[in-house]
Structure 1
Amino acid sequence: MGFLDLLLVALIPVIKVLFITGVGLFLALDRVNLLGPDARNHLNKIVFYVFGPALVATNLAQTTTYESLVTLWFMPVNILLTFMIGSALAWLLIKITRTPKHLQGMVIGCCSAGNLGNLPLIIVPSVCEESNNPFGESSTCFSNAQAYASLSMATGAIFIWSYVYGIMRSYANNYKEAGLTININSSQKNSNSESDLETCREPLLPSKDWVAASDEYSVQQQPHGNFETQEKSSALRKRFQCITMTMKKINLKEVFAPSAIAGMVGFFIGTVSPIRQTLIGADAPLRVIENSINLLGDPTVACMTLLVGANLLKGLTRSDIRPSIIIGIIAVRNVFMPLLGIGVVKAAQHLGLVGTDALFQFVLMLQYALPPAMAVGTMTQLFQMGQSESSIIMLWTYVVAAFSLTLWSTVFMWLLF
């Protein structure tokens, strides 16, 4: 296929995304108010807890086998590489633009975490639906595409709510310890644990000044023969309390998101032959369960894309964020990451780590070219830090992604064929 033919194949899915995103943006307008803040909140919960996990579980259960794991194992590694490379580029961007401290965690989140959920679920299967797609027969391509995109969504959820959440929370804590006013957790549920954390001032690895002060106090208050032992015991006890308070702040429900758990269930069903034969297939005795869950998963893509459009409405507000930061994030996500992604996937192909499936390699490359994950905006709301700035960044990065995704998808297919 020629470059222009591939460009047309790549353009159609992006147009679909733009159209549905535009509908979501329209429904969120104040004059329409069908996707206002309350409606978005309820719909997002339904997608997060019901529709998304159902889609992930059924797609992986239908298409994953024990033999396919030989190839699929590289996708979690590839996603981890996208986060690490994005974080390194974000660190350089922070140094170059001198990003304010309260925005540094958000910049790292935007550069490291791509939208690994709904965009691959739309773009990759839509490419397969085109009659002149380069990946072979449409039905087989479509089935594999949904499996790859579902695995991307499930794995991405784990990394976003562990890796990115941890980084952004760490930057928020450092900003607070510097004496700036940040309300890390505004929920009434965690107010008691937050007040307990306020009393935990000693660092896990104490500074020289803290050690010197504690030594001086111990010399004055304790007998010469016992002060050293009691000082060590007290320090260990305080550090253990700090670690305990910190662990209580980690929300395992977010780290192990429902889509991630559903992915594990889908893998288990697909790879264990007796269970697979019971649930999956036209002759399976319990196929009604699989069919029902499949129906629940069907609205996922449309609802998620409508929510993306509705959330972008907040980016139309004014903010004091410097244009250089926005341009830097756009450059990282739309120029440097895709170029490095080509190198990573080509190197993995040369080493025989990704098999020969061109569609799988296309998905791996695509993961480097996606705009920032919407979950980053959610985290800024959790930490009450950089909400308006993140909305503007999301708006501009998704506007640019409408063009860059088309171009990079074309380039990826051109390199693979």
Structure 2
Amino acid sequence: MTWTNPFHPSLRLRPFLGVPGLSSTEGKKMESFWDLSDGNVKSGGENWLSAVVPLMKLLSLAVIGLILAHPKLQVMSKATFRLLSKLVFVLFLPCLIFTHLGQSITGKNFVLWWFIPVNVIISTAVGCILGYLVAIICRPPPEFFRFTIIMTAFGNTGNLPLAIVGSVCHSAKNPFGPDCHTSGVSYVSFAQWVAVILVYTLVYHMMEPPLEYYEIVEEGNEIEEVVTANDLSRPLLVEAEWPGMEDKETEHCKTPFIARIFTRISSISPSTFPDVGSVEEGGPISPKSIRCLVEPKVVRRIRIVAEQTPIQHILQPPTVASLLAIIIGMFPQLKSFVFGYDAPLSFITDSLSILAGAAIPFVLLILGGMLAEGPHESKLGIRTVIGISVARLLVLPLIGIGIILLADKMNFLVPGDKMYRFVLLLQYTTPSAILLGAIASLRGYAVSEASALLFWQHVFAVFSLSLYIIIYYKVLLPYV
């Protein structure tokens, strides 16, 4: 007699045959802890430990970083942590992504994994809805309405999931099998390209300074802001995930560009704002303006916004590493030349693997250094901070469980792959992306508020991640 698995009808669970001396109720409890990955019986305490111990490892590394960066001890300066951030960004993280994603990706897997990037879009859309509800209920200051939505919507889809996967797979008794680390890193890396596109389109424009709170400076009275390349007064989170963000500043990145284009301003003269080229009507005639004369106004404004969107910045080192890994992995002849023990270029990939081993420890040390700065001053309000944290860390994961179970029943997911589902669930469980702090600095909008909110979210995430990883281990993964 067998029972059909409700999530995968093709998989069948072995019946409980009974153990002498145990009642039927005790037998069912014992059966619920049956580990399908290796056929061993695990106690409830072992299941709990296998879920919590990986987070304790991450927490230990973050605490070390916090101690090293603590201002009273001054073991490592903020400048050193900024250098570590840049090393992770341009070297260690790309090596980690390239070596693991390149080995795992194939033409068949590229098709099978289609739900991973789609899930990033779904989680962001659901987060936007939750963020809008938080903004309505908690009523933050009006200038932070869009900020509340985006901080709830966009989670950490890169560094933190990679750290969690690395820690979970560090144990030989992990529930995901011998290929745990390679497959986990591959799944997380495969989602990064769509996350970066969302950052430089949706997030970039949502973090635009509100027009009604933008300080208008009369012509001739402008105050030039002097920013040095090594300004240590900025919070560490500004460069904790994407260092060198200040080099990506464009002409209009710190101004309400979209609002100025789509809103007619009758009480303010056009000379008050900086010239936007062909944006303002009645400007000097040029080939571009002649071309724009035949365009409808709405189309013209959308085109101008698209031209000012810094989509070219998506080609950052981690994204380039992902694209190279996908291109090489899609062609078997090219893949056999780069990856494998007998590959002619195996000495290069082995060297990159050695560098990749430093990515996760440094990511967590940098996170600890960021937390050592403490929460900065914020005008967001305690109620809004709590609302965003609860929505992001407690409510969104519950919705994510429902979405993943529904996708599983609709056969959208890779059958029988526990790590695949675990990574999808993590996309709903992580706190807001540290990258949002860098975008806030780039746009000159809510930098202190982003710093304070990210601090408290990462503190609360220690408990929420522990809770939900236990749930994922105990409730969802055994059904695969």
The one-letter amino acid of 2:59's match is L
- The alpha-carbon deviation at position 317 of structure 1 amounts to 3.5
What is the CA deviation profile of residues 351-409 of structure 1, one whole-angstrom value per residue up to 9, with x for unaligned ones?
11112212101111111010111001111212222222222211211111111111101
SS in 2 for 1:114: coil
What is the CA deviation profile of residues 293-313 of structure 1, one whole-angstrom value per residue up to 9, with x for unaligned ones?
222322111111111121223
8 Å contact 1:13–1:126 — kept in the other structure?
yes
8 Å contact 2:376–2:449 — kept in the other structure?
no
Q: For residues 127-146 of structure 1, what are the structure 2 equivalents within 5 Å?
A: 127-136=168-177, 139-146=178-185
8 Å contact 1:186–1:382 — kept in the other structure?
no
8 Å contact 1:202–1:239 — kept in the other structure?
no
Tell me what 2:454 maps to: 394
1:346 aligns to 2:405 (yes or no): yes
What is the CA deviation profile of residues 79-130 of structure 1, one whole-angstrom value per residue up to 9, with x for unaligned ones?
1111111111101111111112332333223211211112221222322333
- Equivalent of 2:429 in 369, 374, 378: 369
Tell me what 1:181 maps to: 215
* Distance of 2:56 and 2:343 partners within structure 1: 38
* Distance of 1:190 and 1:243 partners within structure 2: 22
The one-letter amino acid of 2:200's match is W
* Distance of 2:253 and 2:389 partners within structure 1: 38
- The alpha-carbon deviation at position 284 of structure 1 amounts to 0.5
With over 3 angstroms needed to count, the CA separation of the structure-2 counterparts of 1:29 and 1:233, relative to structure 1, is: closer
With over 3 angstroms needed to count, the CA separation of the structure-2 counterparts of 1:186 and 1:274, relative to structure 1, is: farther
Tell me what 2:372 maps to: 313
Q: For residues 184-223 of structure 1, what are the structure 2 equivalents within 5 Å?
A: 193-194=251-252, 203-204=261-262
Tell me what 2:165 maps to: 124
Tell me what 1:213 maps to: none
SS in 2 for 1:130: coil
SS in 2 for 1:368: helix
* Distance of 1:235 and 1:196 partners within structure 2: 30
Tell me what 2:58 maps to: 17
The one-letter amino acid of 2:84's match is L
The one-letter amino acid of 2:441's match is Q
Tell me what 1:405 maps to: 465
What is the CA deviation profile of residues 320-350 of structure 1, one whole-angstrom value per residue up to 9, with x for unaligned ones?
4311111111111121110110111111111
8 Å contact 1:87–1:111 — kept in the other structure?
yes
8 Å contact 1:162–1:255 — kept in the other structure?
no
Tell me what 1:59 maps to: 100
- The alpha-carbon deviation at position 196 of structure 1 amounts to 12
With over 3 angstroms needed to count, the CA separation of the structure-2 counterparts of 1:196 and 1:360, relative to structure 1, is: closer
SS in 2 for 1:203: helix
* Distance of 1:280 and 1:333 partners within structure 2: 39
- Equivalent of 2:325 in 250, 266, 269: 266
With over 3 angstroms needed to count, the CA separation of the structure-2 counterparts of 1:197 and 1:334, relative to structure 1, is: closer
Residues matched between the structures, number: 390
Q: TM-score, normalised by structure 1?
A: 0.83
- The alpha-carbon deviation at position 156 of structure 1 amounts to 2.9
Tell me what 1:83 maps to: 124
With over 3 angstroms needed to count, the CA separation of the structure-2 counterparts of 1:253 and 1:45, relative to structure 1, is: farther
1:95 aligns to 2:136 (yes or no): yes
With over 3 angstroms needed to count, the CA separation of the structure-2 counterparts of 1:60 and 1:112, relative to structure 1, is: same
- Equivalent of 2:392 in 312, 333, 346: 333
8 Å contact 1:61–1:270 — kept in the other structure?
yes
With over 3 angstroms needed to count, the CA separation of the structure-2 counterparts of 1:81 and 1:186, relative to structure 1, is: farther
* Distance of 1:363 and 1:376 partners within structure 2: 21
Q: Percent identity?
A: 28
With over 3 angstroms needed to count, the CA separation of the structure-2 counterparts of 1:113 and 1:194, relative to structure 1, is: closer
With over 3 angstroms needed to count, the CA separation of the structure-2 counterparts of 1:9 and 1:202, relative to structure 1, is: closer
* Distance of 1:25 and 1:166 partners within structure 2: 33
* Distance of 1:402 and 1:199 partners within structure 2: 38
8 Å contact 2:51–2:469 — kept in the other structure?
yes
Instruction: Give ranges in structure 2 of 5+ residues lacking alignment.
Output: 1-32, 34-42, 218-223, 228-246, 269-288
The one-letter amino acid of 2:314's match is V
* Distance of 1:196 and 1:93 partners within structure 2: 26
When structure 1 is superposed on structure 2, of 99-108 and 357-366 the one drifting more is 99-108
Aligned CA-pair RMSD = 3.4
1:285 aligns to 2:382 (yes or no): no
With over 3 angstroms needed to count, the CA separation of the structure-2 counterparts of 1:152 and 1:187, relative to structure 1, is: farther
8 Å contact 2:55–2:167 — kept in the other structure?
no
